[in-house]
Structure 1
Amino acid sequence: MPIHTNVLTTVDHNRDSADMTYVYPVISRRAGGVSVGINLNPNNACNWRCVYCQVPDLKRGAPPEIELKKLEAELRGFLLELLHGDFMVKRVPPEARRINDIALSGNGEPTSAKEFADVILLIGKLMREFDLIGKIKLVLITNGSLVNRGYVQQGLKHMAGLNGEVWFKLDSATAEGMRRINGSRIGLQRVQENLRVAASLCPTWLQTCVFGMDGQAPSNEEQHAYLEMIKKLVSEEAGVKGVLLYGLARPSMQKEASRLSALPEEWLLSYANKIREAGLEVRESL
């Protein structure tokens, strides 16, 4: 298995860094170790178009058919290299030389792959083979728009037994904000319904990216709508574990890139405190 020799950093999330179709390694600033990435969208297709997305040549659409045997071979071979080879020594900084999770993220929405539930079963098989269940997490990073589909719900049920965790994207709680930030016209009621379903099937965190646009932080109206949604989720006991709040760390590859900017640390920490006051735990990544 050919592998590049450059040392990984938290700003290098290149999906081609291990010369494989579906599997790639990253150093995750949120996870705090090596995250084994699973990219089910090698054609750079997604059903959303987030303005901060780091995927070049992003297009609307769904992934091609997943070659499950190829995915299994790549993941098994890479786990062998991580656990018994010299990958950690050659490419990972000493402070991050541990496998923290297997994460389905990649270059588009993972749950748009019709084979999603089969992929989760395959990953579970290899986690058992390498005695990783209960020792690392299995993370799904998703925009949550397809949680109403049966095969996605089946996959989430499988994840729950594999120390699974859903990171459900919620960058805005207004229809205008979702159109502007995510290029999505999904209704807010559907967002909340999908979130409740996800949380009922597998431990679920909200994942929220905050940033400046045209030099302006999220408006008071945007903040208010977001905090009110948090309060509603708490009051309804929706089961959401908390919020993963983060700012811009890598440059966008979308046409809006020049309009985006990282917010001051003080702003992000202040917003995190407002979310805590609304009733949910917050983990910040500056």
Structure 2
Amino acid sequence: MNSSQQMLTVSDHNRSFIHMTYVYPVVSRRAGGVSVGINLNPNNACNWHCAYCQVPGLVRGAAPEIDLAQLEGELRSFLDELLHGSFMADHVPPEAQVIRDIAFSGNGEPTSSKAFAEIVERVVAIRDVAGLAAVPIRLITNGSLVDRPYVQKALQSLAAAGGEVWFKLDGGRAEEFMRINGVDLAPEAHARRLALCASLCPTWVQTCMVRRDDEAPSQAMIDAYLAALDLAGPGALRGVHLYGLARPSLQPEAGHLQRLALDELEQIALRIKEKGLTVVVSP
């Protein structure tokens, strides 16, 4: 464990805070407390390249082979420390001293691990043995690999364990996927994956909106984004997490990105709510 008295903040999601390979804590502004992160991409590899990504040294690729025994040991040890040790008092602000979730997030796309289905089952078992069955397990994903059978199996396991998915959708046109997420992707295909995901596990959409070169998202961009939600079927979704830049991008595109004001995000949220969706705004 980190022996310093450094405090966790929403603006610092340092994966090496406790010097573990796979497990790390953050104070999540969206979850509203301590999120126990599971990083299946310690090689900083992802199949997308999002312009706003805070991962240093991001490279294209997939998760490496995972040491399952090490992952299990780290998770057991850190959950025990959170529940029975001094970590909360030493490193977490008083208002955030509660375990809100266990989240597959980290430094790349977690579902790119071929062992993902087995890992989900093991994490569920460790959570339950720790007496934390009421703590949700979340998958934070770009959704690009939902078509793969092992990912679908994992989603079903998550659903059975009371978990949920946060599925990335930042735009509704191919040019936005390329500019924002760095991928050549047809909106219709991604909307189908979103619908499939929602049919297997409770699913929220996570959407990051920013200014680019001081220009806010255009009405055409927002219209296309809303059309993509329509293609996915809003009635099958739990809602939308709409957020802006809380931490600076560490990608080459960083100089082009600026934060949207709260009122600008709330105007976009109003458009989404017209679809009958719940929207949680995090500026």
Partner of 1:6: 6
Question: C-alpha distance in 2, partners of 1:173/1:180?
Answer: 12
166-175 or 3-12, which deviates more:
3-12
Question: C-alpha distance in 2, partners of 1:264/1:128?
Answer: 40
Whether contact under 8 Å (1:3, 1:19) holds in the other structure is: no
Question: C-alpha distance in 2, partners of 1:159/1:137?
Answer: 9
Question: C-alpha distance in 2, partners of 1:232/1:121?
Answer: 31
Show structure 2 runs of 5+ residues with no match: none
Partner of 2:21: 21
Query: Given residue 268 of structure 1, which amino acid in structure 2 is its aligned partner?
Result: L
Question: C-alpha distance in 1, partners of 2:128/2:175?
Answer: 44
Q: Structure 1's 71 and 32: CA in aligned 2 closer, same or farther, altered over 3 A?
A: same
Question: C-alpha distance in 1, partners of 2:273/2:228?
Answer: 13
Tell me, yes or no, if structure 1 residue 282 matches structure 2 residue 253.
no
Tell me, yes or no, if structure 1 residue 270 matches structure 2 residue 261.
no
Partner of 2:139: 140
TM-score, normalised by the number of residues in structure 1: 0.97
**Tell me, what secondary structure is at the counterpart of 1:249?**
coil
Partner of 2:127: 127
Partner of 1:46: 46
Tell me, yes or no, if structure 1 residue 206 matches structure 2 residue 198.
no
**Tell me, what secondary structure is at the counterpart of 1:128?**
helix
TM-aligned CA deviation for residue 265 of structure 1: 1.1
Question: C-alpha distance in 2, partners of 1:110/1:177?
Answer: 23
Two-structure CA RMSD over aligned residues (Å): 1.1
TM-aligned CA deviation for residue 229 of structure 1: 2.4
273-282 or 100-109, which deviates more:
273-282
Partner of 1:260: 257
Partner of 1:215: 214
Q: Which ranges of 4 or more aligned residues in structure 1 deviate by more than 4 Å?
A: 1-4
Question: C-alpha distance in 1, partners of 2:170/2:246?
Answer: 16
Counterpart of 2:244 (choices 241, 244, 247) is 247
Query: Given residue 103 of structure 2, which amino acid in structure 1 is its aligned partner?
Result: A
**1:81-230 superposed matches below 5 A:** 81-133=81-133, 135-230=134-229
Question: C-alpha distance in 1, partners of 2:153/2:226?
Answer: 31
34-43 or 214-223, which deviates more:
214-223
Query: Given residue 148 of structure 2, which amino acid in structure 1 is its aligned partner?
Result: R
- The Cα offsets for residues 241-262 of structure 1, whole Å up to 9 and x where unpaired, read as 1100000000000001011000
Show structure 1 runs of 5+ residues with no match: none
TM-aligned CA deviation for residue 197 of structure 1: 1.1
Question: C-alpha distance in 2, partners of 1:256/1:249?
Answer: 16
- The Cα offsets for residues 138-168 of structure 1, whole Å up to 9 and x where unpaired, read as 0100000000001100100100122211000
The size of the alignment, in residue pairs, is 283
Question: C-alpha distance in 1, partners of 2:45/2:108?
Answer: 5
- The Cα offsets for residues 113-158 of structure 1, whole Å up to 9 and x where unpaired, read as 001001101101101101211x211010000000000110010010
Query: Given residue 149 of structure 2, which amino acid in structure 1 is its aligned partner?
Result: G
TM-score, normalised by the number of residues in structure 2: 0.98
Question: C-alpha distance in 1, partners of 2:4/2:233?
Answer: 45
Whether contact under 8 Å (1:27, 1:33) holds in the other structure is: yes
**Tell me, what secondary structure is at the counterpart of 2:228?**
helix
Q: Structure 1's 117 and 127: CA in aligned 2 closer, same or farther, altered over 3 A?
A: same
Query: Given residue 163 of structure 1, which amino acid in structure 2 is its aligned partner?
Result: G
TM-aligned CA deviation for residue 3 of structure 1: 4.8
Question: C-alpha distance in 2, partners of 1:200/1:161?
Answer: 13
Partner of 2:34: 34
Between the aligned residues of both structures, percent identity stands at 54
- The Cα offsets for residues 157-212 of structure 1, whole Å up to 9 and x where unpaired, read as 10012221100000011000000000011222221111111101100010000000
Question: C-alpha distance in 2, partners of 1:121/1:256?
Answer: 37
Query: Given residue 194 of structure 2, which amino acid in structure 1 is its aligned partner?
Result: L
Whether contact under 8 Å (1:22, 1:71) holds in the other structure is: yes
TM-aligned CA deviation for residue 230 of structure 1: 2.5
184-193 or 201-210, which deviates more:
184-193
